[in-house]
Amino acid sequence: MAARHDLVILAVDAASVEAQLLLDALSDALLRLNGDSGRSSFDVEAATLRGGFYLVRDTAGELLGCAALRPLGEADSVVGELKRMYARPGSTGVGAALLAHVEAQARQHGYQALHLSTRVANTRAVAFYAKHGYAPVIAWGKYVGAAQSTCLGKTL
């Protein structure tokens, strides 16, 4: 797929008003899909030097998506964790552009791999990540033994 050139991706404070609008939209969508908003899995206060919170706008300024990057486990981990990935429905190409941006940021922060967890029921997300080279990895933390979740990863 060709990269979209009508998008602007910025690192912002996850506690900002714009970030919260996108996080609320994501939580609402996940609640409808899974019965769980996923809010408990992301702490906006947990900023890290080896990560960030990114939002996507079109050139008109409309908010289209977001994603967060943080170390998986210890601060010096070689594995980054992708959190709160979201693209507004109908925003074709936004997810792919955002994922490519987060992967590039992860490489710059010295991560050798990127891992994520999503719900098995979120078949669109599972298919999206598979299309972009993500494959099952061993579960970590609260995802160990969580049948409703699937943990995916990609070597960068």
Those residues whose C-beta lies under 8 Å from the C-beta of residue 31, and which sit 6 or more positions away, are 37
In this predicted model, which residue has the larger pLDDT, 116 or 20?
116
Average pLDDT of 9-36?
80
Give the pTM: 0.84
pLDDT at 150: 95
**What pLDDT, on a 0 to 100 scale, did the predictor assign at position 13?**
87
pLDDT, tens only, 104-147: 999 999 999 999 999 898 899 999 999 999 999 999 999 999 99
Coil, strand or helix at 143 = helix
How far is 65 from 135, CA to CA, in rounded Å?
A: 23
Summarize pLDDT for 73-109 with one digit per residue, the tens. 898 999 999 998 989 888 889 999 999 999 999 999 9
Q: Per residue in 27-73, pLDDT tens?
A: 777 667 666 555 555 555 455 678 998 999 999 988 999 999 999 98
Cα separations (Å) of 1 from 17, 46, 58, 85, 124?
A: 31, 33, 18, 19, 17
